[in-house]
Structure 1
């Protein structure tokens, strides 16, 4: 089913257009928005979800038209990069309708990049459509190239299907970055082989420290592998050089001389990257989180629905951005073994 979207990028008229860029209380401009289109996922990764999740009732989610309007309100305020996430975004019914509608901001030049983070399970089906919508770069989560281990980490994912999706994206001309969560005693001894595979296929690789969000039925203290330690191990075999390359996210990149590829390190625990944070996240219910690692949030669904123009909505966004904290409080708590933040990653969006 295809929904008849209206062009609402300038809803609110000249008043919305006259509003300035989004700048927080610390002088950081917010130019990157990550929007979760669903909390549902067809995987149950051990560091992200519990095996038996309670998902939101579908009627609690923003409609696709509301998601379009919300994203467009941020684009009107200077957001240049827009990433759709989940859960798994490509399991949302008719999600390509949203991609097609948002691509108009690429056509006008207001938006620099429209992209997606996916587990790859549906990518073979949608890769060509994503490319047609102007998606030039995507992130795919792959924590191991061992099919049996992959199924264990995701609880029921099919590595072959994901790799098929990666090949389809590459064939469609989309640049693929692989995201891998570094997990102690799980994939730490195959990180080098994952990196060599990625670089051999022309993909960048970003390694991510496990984040203490939500109860997942596993001890994060047992999962946590510091990337400082990973880098030291890799440096014994490879020549690693820090480079000034950024994609808009928190990764700090290295060039690997022997492979000719790039390796990103996302280190919320060993190296706080908050000083240059330009990102905010909106959930599929319209809740704006100004920081992934803090509980403070703002309801944008009520102002979104309160008025047909964006005046009330933009006022709510301004008030929230002013409250954006200086940094997160992520820590692996070895005493209480409780997550730093009790909501799951799938609730906020990747």
Structure 2
């Protein structure tokens, strides 16, 4: 699949649910209204959609949410999708998780061919963790990371950099992650969905944070890539890697290779744009995939060049109305 700007689309992110067992303050409101279950695609429909995308050239598939592991019978879907790893049609099947369910599922994920996962973790302070997630249990996440590593799954941490919350703690998080053999990726907060807080009070440019980190660490630019938008450096003092995802300070869209599918069958060609394609209707209109394939081709044909994210006092409304949990980041 080639978009209008010559970019090969070989990475699909699938939000299997908009529900989550946390309520992270930068992501969603505490009193969220989630989609009625009847609007969600069935696991069989998600498998059919993902399998067609793989036929059309997707090589990397990432399951997201919300929290993907709270979707009922999610391991059945992962088991079905793992057949594409066995045939070689898919290079990687992975997921992004908050870690709360990993103790339960890590061993089975490893058995199904999941070799690496991303765990979202913004602080190592249990009290601050409870404050930022509202409902989260820090010890449960730590146990989940332990279980994943014991199962042989490579863990990478994702941390959203938040001004006056975790900015001073990030060097400690880097040392802790690298000490356990985990890379860490730092992410700028993005203006998606209405939340109770003012994002201009949360926003920390990673260009500023990187300057601060260079006072403590020797950072070496490296060519390492994982298929996503992060740019990586190696830390001489620890031997580990730090990724920087900078949608606000450095638009990474020129190398975008991904599209995002929601649990209702809506395809977003860009995280930061509202344009979307309905794949549920053609999916359910025929047992064959011809209509569905044509709908996907039309959607890829209008993938935009980039997003329009902006955060400042003059633009204090979300760039897009949907919450991050709808499309999974």
TM-score (ref. length: structure 2): 0.99
Q: Counterpart in 2 of 1:142? A: 121
- Secondary structure class of the residue paired with 2:304: coil
* 1:287–1:301 CA contact under 8 A, matched in 2: yes
Q: Structure 2: how far apart are the matches of 1:337 and 1:25?
A: 31
Matched, 1:311 2:290: yes
Q: Structure 1: how far apart are the matches of 2:259 and 2:315?
A: 29
Q: Counterpart in 2 of 1:87? A: 66
- Secondary structure class of the residue paired with 1:139: strand
- Secondary structure class of the residue paired with 1:188: coil
Q: Counterpart in 1 of 2:43? A: 64
In the alignment, which of 272, 286, 311 is matched to residue 332 of structure 1?
A: 311
Q: Structure 2: how far apart are the matches of 1:305 and 1:262?
A: 44
Q: Counterpart in 1 of 2:3? A: 24
- Secondary structure class of the residue paired with 2:169: helix
Matched, 1:158 2:158: no
Instruction: Extract structure 1 runs of 4+ deviating beyond 6 A.
Output: none
Q: Counterpart in 2 of 1:39? A: 18
* 1:34–1:349 CA contact under 8 A, matched in 2: yes
Q: Structure 2: how far apart are the matches of 1:237 and 1:36?
A: 37
- Secondary structure class of the residue paired with 2:187: strand
Q: Structure 2: how far apart are the matches of 1:133 and 1:211?
A: 33
Matched, 1:299 2:316: no
Matched, 1:219 2:202: no
In the alignment, which of 172, 175, 185 is matched to residue 154 of structure 2?
A: 175
Considering only aligned residues, what root-mean-square deviation do their CA atoms show, in Å?
0.5
Report the count of equivalent residues. 329
* 1:182–1:210 CA contact under 8 A, matched in 2: yes
Q: Structure 2: how far apart are the matches of 1:285 and 1:264?
A: 31
Shift of 1:333: 3.6
Q: Structure 1: how far apart are the matches of 2:34 and 2:92?
A: 29
Shift of 1:336: 4.2
- Secondary structure class of the residue paired with 2:168: helix
Q: Structure 2: how far apart are the matches of 1:286 and 1:227?
A: 33
Q: Counterpart in 1 of 2:178? A: 199
* Stretches of structure 1 lacking an aligned partner (at least 5 in a row): 1-21
Q: Counterpart in 2 of 1:10? A: none
Q: Structure 1: how far apart are the matches of 2:174 and 2:308?
A: 30
- Secondary structure class of the residue paired with 1:323: coil
Q: Counterpart in 1 of 2:221? A: 242
Q: Structure 1: how far apart are the matches of 2:147 and 2:83?
A: 24
* Stretches of structure 2 lacking an aligned partner (at least 5 in a row): none
* 1:184–1:224 CA contact under 8 A, matched in 2: yes
Shift of 1:349: 1.5
Shift of 1:141: 0.4
Q: Counterpart in 1 of 2:29? A: 50
1:108-158 alpha-carbon deviations (Å, 9 max, x no partner): 001000000000000110000100110000000000000000000000101
Q: Structure 2: how far apart are the matches of 1:181 and 1:74?
A: 30
- Secondary structure class of the residue paired with 1:162: helix
Question: Map of 1:2-13 to 2, 5 A cutoff?
Answer: none
1:28-83 alpha-carbon deviations (Å, 9 max, x no partner): 00000000000000000000000100000001000000000000010001100000
Q: Counterpart in 1 of 2:76? A: 97
Q: Counterpart in 2 of 1:16? A: none
- Secondary structure class of the residue paired with 2:119: strand
